């Protein structure tokens, strides 16, 4: 399964186009990182890719179907959206929260049955939080909640998950845990488009990196060739240096002038 | 886990039914339980006076209390969910204010019970209509609906003030005041058809949609990404809920707190999953209002207004719940 955006443009108001022309291709088993400065429309792009917003120009195709021609439940069975973390209001258990992902498979008056519970159980298992099933979703850590949201996307049946800054607010250990699970799921054939402010994560976990600059998709390709001192300067308007660690991993550092 | 669940389900059925029967034989005229049961079963024995008292006076009133209580609690629970705000109740959208104005206007012009009920209902509909118009114009987000509701409520409260101001202070004004305090006094069978039918349809509707209500407690974006037509679903739920509140308020007056407190108690008992919260709220709402109404009609020689009782009991109950909530979060000692 692949998700392809071609020259997508979007505007909240006619005067200002948030997205001017975004093209990307997300194949199965791929982890794509979408980088870009604050306010360049990364979240909006994810919402357009998941079919939640009517785009101005261009097209978003799921395999050979224009995504806006799919009904919302059908779309939800293919594409999942994992929003930025927020504090939930009610104390649903992890299992109840993940069960919500079954909605596109149930009729208007439907309630989850044994088969749905089984799917949810497997989803929770596959992100490694089975021990938290009955815990209140409000009382688990941010990283665990992020994993629960991934499980919810899997319970939807989505093969393609769009994640909005999944590791913001997480400590390095949990950042690694969440992204390792993302990586493992990708190896099983799931695809991920992830917005991030951390080029290092793109270098570590991604197959593909893309910069969103002024509403345009620019400079995309494999992270090793895309994330360069030059592209980073264009994206963030400051100087960086790229260093190489002993194990061969590369990392981005801001260039400090007065040292 | 499963066994305790079944136990809770039976309890949820048993409590309101038992309360219902209990309320029928309680009253200013003592009727023995045995005779009450015989009247209900249609057996011979009790005098015609007892029969009339139970079937024509108490039964419609207790039935009305059950319906109104269930409606207010179910709508309160759902509105708290779909506005993602545990402090919301059925009055949030200005419906009760509209109904209060409608009733006061009718009381100013007539004294016919049916007309008062109809006018209260009609103006509740006008109120929600205005809120919906605002919502449609500005995109039906929960914020727009809540602010619209507060404004429409304020508008009708001012109009209500105007009516009180011009009402005859010796006859009409006390009638308006009494209506506003809420009461099921003088409920007759002839008052019930609108309430019974709307309650039946409304509760069935919420029961059918109860699991899906969970999806409205997450952000619009998330719910949409899970294939939910959020705005449509929310509009339909708000409309049906409003009908239930309007029918209840039109008959019983503006009864506060039930729609706020009962859902919290129900949530503390069965958890936030609407699959269980909705039936629990219905059962506890019906029970609570039957009990309060029984107190209202039996404890003092004259009726205690229901709105006063729900406040007197609701306020401390809510305060205790609130403290518990804060304690659980470590924000209070």
Average pLDDT of the segment spanning B312-331:
72
Average pLDDT value over all residues in chain B? 85
Query: Which of B227, B240, B269, B281 to substitute to test the interface with A, most A CBs within 10 Å?
Result: B227
- Sheet-wide strand order for A65-66: A65-66, A57-62, A3-13, A16-26, A216-221, A208-213, A31-35, A191-196, A160-164, A79-82
Average pLDDT of the segment spanning B19-35:
76
Q: What angle do CA A37, A40, A42 make, to 5 degrees?
A: 95
Crossing angle for the helix pair B95-109 and B172-181, nearest 10 degrees? 150
Q: Which of residues 37-66 of B touch A (CB under 8 A)?
A: none
Rounded CA gap, A60 and A3, in Å? 7
Residue closest to A89 by CA, chosen among B43, B196, B263, B102:
B263
Residues 6+ apart with CB under 8 A from A182: A31, A150, A163, A166, A192, A194, A205
Residue bearing the bigger pLDDT, B304 or A31: A31
Residue A111 domain flag: yes
pLDDT 10s digits, B129-150: 898 888 888 776 788 888 888 9
Quote the pLDDT of residue A53. Answer: 92
Quote the pLDDT of residue B6. Answer: 79
Chain A CB contacts of B266 below 8 Å:
none
DSSP-assigned beta bridge partners for residue A8: A22
Average pLDDT of the segment spanning A141-148:
92
In chain A, the number of structural domains is: 1
DSSP-assigned beta bridge partners for residue A26: A3
DSSP-assigned beta bridge partners for residue B193: none
Residue A27 domain flag: yes
Given a cut of 80, is residue B20 above it in pLDDT? Answer: yes
Crossing angle for the helix pair B59-82 and B2-25, nearest 10 degrees? 140
CB within 8 Å: A108 and B222: no
pLDDT 10s digits, B232-286: 898 899 889 999 998 998 888 888 788 888 998 888 888 899 999 999 999 999 9
Interface residue B3 vs chain A (CB under 8 A): no
Chain B CB contacts of A81 below 8 Å:
221-222, 225
3-state SS assignment for residue B333: coil
Residue A177 domain flag: yes
Query: Which of B81, B225, B230 to substitute to test the interface with A, most A CBs within 10 Å?
Result: B225
B153/chain A closest Cα distance in angstroms: 25
Interface residue B85 vs chain A (CB under 8 A): yes
Residue A259 domain flag: no
CB within 8 Å: B211 and A110: yes
Which of A103-107, A129-133, B325-329 shows the lowest mean pLDDT across its residues? Answer: B325-329
For residue A107, give the CATH number of its domain: 3.40.50.300
A79/chain B closest Cα distance in angstroms: 8
Query: Which of A12, A13, A95, A100 to substitute to test the interface with B, most B CBs within 10 Å?
Result: A100
Quote the pLDDT of residue B46. Answer: 64
Residue A232 domain flag: yes
Phi, psi of B193, rounded to the nearest 5 degrees: -50, -45
Q: Which of A185-194, B93-102, B127-136, B178-187 has the highest mean pLDDT?
A: A185-194
Domains delineated in chain B = 3-328 (1.10.3470.10)
Rounded CA gap, A157 and B281, in Å? 33
Quote the pLDDT of residue B331. Answer: 59
Average pLDDT of the segment spanning B30-39:
70
Q: Which residue has the tokens 């607010």?
A: A169
Interface residue B325 vs chain A (CB under 8 A): no
Q: Tell me the two tokens of residue A159.
A: 């093969």
Given a cut of 60, is residue A209 above it in pLDDT? Answer: yes
Average pLDDT of the segment spanning B99-104:
90
Asked whether the beta carbons of A86 and A138 are under 8 A apart, the reply is no
Average pLDDT of the segment spanning A195-219:
93
**Residue B304: band (very low, low, confident or very high) from pLDDT cuts 50, 70, 90:** confident
Quote the pLDDT of residue B281. Answer: 95
Quote the pLDDT of residue B250. Answer: 85
Residues 6+ apart with CB under 8 A from A15: none
Quote the pLDDT of residue B41. Answer: 73
Chain A CB contacts of B85 below 8 Å:
89
Query: Which of A42, A62, A85, A103 to substitute to test the interface with B, most B CBs within 10 Å?
Result: A103
Given a cut of 50, is residue B1 above it in pLDDT? Answer: no
pLDDT 10s digits, B53-65: 777 788 899 999 9
The partner residue sitting opposite B222, judged by closest CB among A74, A77, A81, is A81
Q: Which residue has the tokens 């609108």?
A: B194
Residue A218 domain flag: yes
Residue A116 domain flag: yes
- Which residue range(s) make up the domain with A132? 3-254
Residue A234 domain flag: yes
Quote the pLDDT of residue B330. Answer: 63
The partner residue sitting opposite A52, judged by closest CB among B86, B217, B221, is B221
Phi, psi of A250, rounded to the nearest 5 degrees: -110, 150
Asked whether the beta carbons of B67 and B196 are under 8 A apart, the reply is yes
3-state SS assignment for residue B252: helix
**Strand residues in chain A grouped as ranges (E):** 3-13, 16-26, 31-35, 57-62, 65-66, 79-82, 160-164, 191-196, 208-213, 216-221, 240-244, 250-254
Given a cut of 90, is residue A203 above it in pLDDT? Answer: yes
């Amino acid at each position: 399964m692949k998700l392809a955006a071609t020259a997508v443009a979007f505007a909240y108001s006619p005067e200002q186009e948030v997205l001017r022309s975004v093209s990307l291709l997300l194949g199965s088993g791929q982890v794509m990182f979408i980088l870009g400065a604050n306010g360049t429309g990364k979240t909006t792009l994810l919402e357009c890719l998941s079919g939640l917003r009517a785009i101005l120009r261009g097209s978003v195709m799921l395999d050979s179907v224009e995504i806006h021609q799919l009904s919302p439940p059908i779309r939800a069975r293919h594409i999942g959206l994992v929003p930025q973390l927020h504090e939930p209001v009610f104390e649903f258990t992890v299992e109840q929260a993940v069960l919500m992902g079954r909605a596109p498979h149930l009729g208007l008056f439907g309630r989850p049955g044994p088969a749905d519970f089984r799917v949810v159980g497997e989803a929770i298992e596959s992100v490694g939080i089975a021990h938290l099933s009955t815990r209140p979703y409000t009382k688990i850590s941010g990283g665990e909640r992020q994993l629960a949201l991934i499980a919810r996307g899997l319970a939807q049946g989505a093969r393609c998950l769009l994640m909005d800054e999944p590791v913001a607010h997480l400590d390095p250990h949990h950042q690694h845990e969440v992204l390792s699970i993302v990586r493992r799921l990708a190896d099983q054939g799931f695809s991920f488009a992830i917005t991030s402010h951390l080029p290092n994560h793109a270098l570590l976990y991604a197959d593909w990196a893309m910069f969103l600059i002024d509403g345009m998709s620019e400079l995309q390709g494999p992270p090793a060739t895309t994330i360069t001192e030059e592209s980073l300067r264009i994206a963030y308007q400051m100087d960086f240096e790229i260093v190489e660690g002993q194990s061969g991993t590369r990392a981005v550092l801001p260039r400090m002038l007065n040292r | 886990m499963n066994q305790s669940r079944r136990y809770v389900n039976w309890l949820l059925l048993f409590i309101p039914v038992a309360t219902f029967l209990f309320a029928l034989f309680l009253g200013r005229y003592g009727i023995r339980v045995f005779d009450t049961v015989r009247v209900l079963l249609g057996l011979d024995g009790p005098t015609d006076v007892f029969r009339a008292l139970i079937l024509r006076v108490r039964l419609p009133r207790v039935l009305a209390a059950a319906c109104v209580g269930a409606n207010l609690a179910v709508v309160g629970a759902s509105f708290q969910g779909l506005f993602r705000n545990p402090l919301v109740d059925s009055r949030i959208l200005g419906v009760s204010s509209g109904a209060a104005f409608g009733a006061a206007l009718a009381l100013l012009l007539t004294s016919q019970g049916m007309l008062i009920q109809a006018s209260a209902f009609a103006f509740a509909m006008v109120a929600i209509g205005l809120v919906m118009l605002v919502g449609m114009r500005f995109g039906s987000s929960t914020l727009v609906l809540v602010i619209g509701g507060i404004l429409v409520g304020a508008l009708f409260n001012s109009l209500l003030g105007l009516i009180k101001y011009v009402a005859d202070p010796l006859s009409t004004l006390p009638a308006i005041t009494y209506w506003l305090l809420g009461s099921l006094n003088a409920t007759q069978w002839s008052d019930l058809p609108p309430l019974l039918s709307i309650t039946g349809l409304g509760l069935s509707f919420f029961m059918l949609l109860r699991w899906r209500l969970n999806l409205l407690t997450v952000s619009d974006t998330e719910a949409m990404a899970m294939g939910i037509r959020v705005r449509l679903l929310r509009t339909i739920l708000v409309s049906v809920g409003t009908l239930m509140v309007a029918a209840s308020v039109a008959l019983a007056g503006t009864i506060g707190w039930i729609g706020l407190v009962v859902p919290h108690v129900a949530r503390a008992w069965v958890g936030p999953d609407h699959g269980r919260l909705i039936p629990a709220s219905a059962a506890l709402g019906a029970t609570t209002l039957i009990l309060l109404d029984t107190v209202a009609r039996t404890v003092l020689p004259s009726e205690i207004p229901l709105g006063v009782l729900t406040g007197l009991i609701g306020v401390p109950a809510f305060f205790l719940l609130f403290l518990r909530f804060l304690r659980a979060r470590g924000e209070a000692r």
